[in-house]
Chain A
């Protein structure tokens, strides 16, 4: 195995992949211990999503990338610098949850400072709001692009087709990187029940949208495909459709038990074997990283447990921007 990325970068990616996995396992544990009502998340998407998060032009406003994410995006957020404890706060729905103040499910991120628009549970609507930031970023000289991701089953919604239609019009092409993380399932519905084509990315052809399907369980393949797609969208100000084949390692959500499902490729396993083989990290070093995150997050979960819940009298706050209390 010969890597193209620098060892330093590989070690950083590995660190973030472990961090994401340990966080998701911690969130699942919190759910099972009654410290949260529902879990849904991204274990199995790390090899694709960490390289994505690391390459985002992070910041606020049109010159930075806008992110319209779905609920499996924790590796993207952690790679951008999000704190694991904040995800635990959202899981426990305490008042200090910075993403929703205890109002939303775990992994429903939102961070205006980083152009991360609110994650919604509604499948595929993010491909519609992405059109809007895409239009905003057609402004002359604008450096930011719009990134949107979602699952494979969701592409059956008309909203996915809307994104293809709007982004590829010759009179107003949109700088949009449209991503589909294809885990082959939508809750319990296999891919073949949704779609008769070979690849989802090929749908881009009908709109003359550049597209590609990659193995999202491979770190380097993902890293370079994302790099090239981003470069194209950033420079050409045109859309790109990227499909990444990934795994769903703990089932759909807590609704299906949130137990490890053996059989699927675990990208972290694969990557660790490669790192060991290439003598970039030893097994002991990798175990150490995992142990460190495990104990850190265990402590953080304890801390979150005793943080105050939001008060019921705050329900009317923020119906309107800057408004507090009952307003009518």
Chain B
């Protein structure tokens, strides 16, 4: 019953052991802390970088050129904005050289609200990132996917952006990562003893890694996490859990909601979305990034262009308010990013709407 952050850590360990990962770096990524969210605790190839985001991203690109596998962490995506030109550059090397240079490197960064992180620890990055061609972009919603998607990134020959939904990092997985202790309270305790650094002096501590198996999750494949036939909700990250709960609730009212976890934001699984829309005739896209030039707007555009005559109701986007940041106070945060009630109301409304 690994938490998402334990799953990421195990994936990085797997990467060190089996996928040739030679450098894992970022601010506070080395021992003893192992990253602000402990995603790199207990590893062997992790080290502290200077406090320099442009240096971190540039170094990752250069390591990619050298064909040396690396994972670079930006401590919060709120601090990645001064590297946009470098992300453009990293995403363009293969294309600009007409295919001469592969550019394999992975950047991971925590995103989104949900932990009362105030203005500078709550930003989302999916809208901005999906404007940058050349990357493959993922965001897991559970521990097993967090593990499998990281391995998929580490096996890819292209730049990959691994967005970590920070509100889910401490959430327990409910599917077994093959090799981890059993999904029981005892198993959870056992895993903690194996791979979580103890409090206090850690200088002698070494992680005991379980013998893990790659679940071979493919990039660009979504997952239906709740089947339904009246409305499709397409989302990713922490809103997958919220949407799934909403779907379960609404099932009691006789409303049948299909929830798709996109998992890979780019290139995304259009065939899964398209098939579902053909079935339900109604679709709502949900994410928490700001609503203007939001990635969901692209999905809406494609829905309108390719499914206009299939739809029985106008398609919708539920996204974050277009404001400069997320205010700290409970009421401010809740008013800024989509809540369960927003999704629930939209589902009721869209199902009631008749052509």
Contact = CB atoms under 8 A, between A and B. Distances in A.
B100 A66 contact: no
Contacts of B89: 120, 122, 125, 129
Contacts, number: 145
- Majority DSSP secondary structure for residues of B touching A: mixed
Contacts of B197: none
B23 interface: yes
A81 interface: no
A62 interface: yes
A135 interface: yes
Contact of A129 (B50, B52, B58, B158): B58
Interface in A92-109: 97, 99-104
Interface string A307-328: 0000000000111111000011
Interface stretch (A49-57, A157-165, A196-204, A283-291): A157-165
A299 B22 CA distance: 49
Contacts of A125: 58, 85-86, 89
Contacts of B103: 321
B86 A132 contact: no
A319 B62 contact: no
Contact of A132 (B59, B136, B157): B59
Nearest to B97: A110
A137 B102 contact: no
Contact of B50 (A132, A169, A328): A169
- Majority DSSP secondary structure for residues of A touching B: loop
B65 A129 contact: yes
A166 to B, nearest CB: 5
A162 B62 contact: no
Contacts of A162: 50, 52, 54-55, 58
A307 to B, nearest CB: 15
A128 B59 contact: yes
A134 B94 CA distance: 20
B50 A166 contact: yes
A110 B96 CA distance: 9
B47 interface: yes
A66 B54 contact: no
A318 B55 contact: no
A66 B158 contact: no
Given A100-B97, A118-B93, A322-B99, A133 B66 contact: yes
Interface residues of A, number: 47
A136 interface: yes
A147 to B, nearest CB: 13
Contacts of B154: none
A118 B99 CA distance: 11
B322 interface: no
Residue among A100, A125, A139, A171 with the highest chain B CB neighbour number at 10 A: A125
Interface string B125-158: 0000000011010000000000000000000011
Nearest to B99: A318
Given A100-B98, A103-B95, A319 B133 contact: yes
27 contacts: A99-B98, A104-B96, A110-B96, A110-B97, A111-B100, A117-B93, A120-B89, A127-B58, A128-B58, A129-B59, A132-B59, A132-B62, A133-B63, A136-B62, A158-B54, A162-B55, A317-B95, A317-B98, A318-B94, A318-B95, A318-B97, A319-B134, A320-B94, A321-B99, A321-B158, A328-B268, A328-B270
Interface of A: 61-62, 66, 68, 97, 99-104, 110-112, 117-118, 120, 122, 125, 127-137, 139, 158-159, 162, 165-166, 169, 171-172, 317-322, 327-328
